[in-house]
Amino acid sequence: MPKAKQNSASGSASGAAPALEKVTAARQAKAPSPGIFCAELAKQFKVRSSEIALLRLEKGLLKFLIPEHLKTAGAIPVSSSSAVAAHTAMTRKLELFNNFVKVRHANIFEAVKPTSGEEVPSEQPPIQKLMSAPVLNADRKVLGVVQVCRKGYDLNSAGTDFTLDDLQQLEKAAEHLSEMPFIQEGAE
């Protein structure tokens, strides 16, 4: 596992993270969609579907596949110095932040309101905790980025910290994602 950047003192593993059985089942389906895959990932990490982001790299831009309401909100240049997803793509390293509000980041996408069709509260609390993983093909070429966060009005209301075991599980999910046609479509 690549070294993870962590800004929390509580990164100890507390028990094994749940297996990716459901995510693997989605992978083995004929043509799983980004929505199905990310819904299973949300269950895996016990977060809301609105706390999963999946971005695909297309022509130097990270474009949202999930959440749906960010598909048309814009894209993140890989060269961005303030976007965590861009940093993850550039460094090809896993990242974990259990005090994300203290991390300098582009929060423009947090301000985008969800559409009425999505199961998301109309007023979104900020991201408090975040894990970010690059989606790499066999040649270590970046295909995209997958992120899992916990939102809340403060650290306590966001729930438990992410662990290093959680980060390993996200890395495995990113490996599965690299084989999905929907992430490979925009491969440069």
Which CATH number do you get for residue 177? 3.30.450.40
Q: Does residue 141 lie within any of the structural domains?
A: yes
Residue 36 within any structural domain of the chain: yes
Residue 78 has pLDDT above 80, yes or no: yes
Q: Does 1 map to a domain?
A: no
Distance CA 180, CA 40 (A): 14
Taking 80 as the threshold, does the pLDDT of residue 38 lie above it?
A: yes
Question: Dmax over Cα atoms in the chain, in whole Å?
Answer: 42
Q: In the predicted model, is pLDDT for residue 111 greater than 50?
A: no
Confidence of residue 31 (pLDDT cuts 50, 70, 90): low
Task: State the angle between helix axes of 34-45 and 21-28 in degrees (0 to 180), rounded to the nearest 10.
Answer: 170
Within a domain: 6: no
Residue 4 located in a structural domain: no
The total of structural domains in the chain comes to: 1
Higher pLDDT, 140 or 30: 140
Q: How far apart are CA 5 and CA 42, in angstroms?
A: 22
Residue pair 86/41 in contact by the 8 Å Cβ criterion = no
- Grade residue 60 by pLDDT with cuts at 50, 70 and 90: very high
Considering the domain boundaries, does residue 2 fall inside one? no
Q: Regarding predicted confidence, which is higher, 28 or 183?
A: 183
Decide if 13 is inside a domain: no
Q: Is residue 8 part of a domain?
A: no
Containing structural domain, residue 136: 18-184
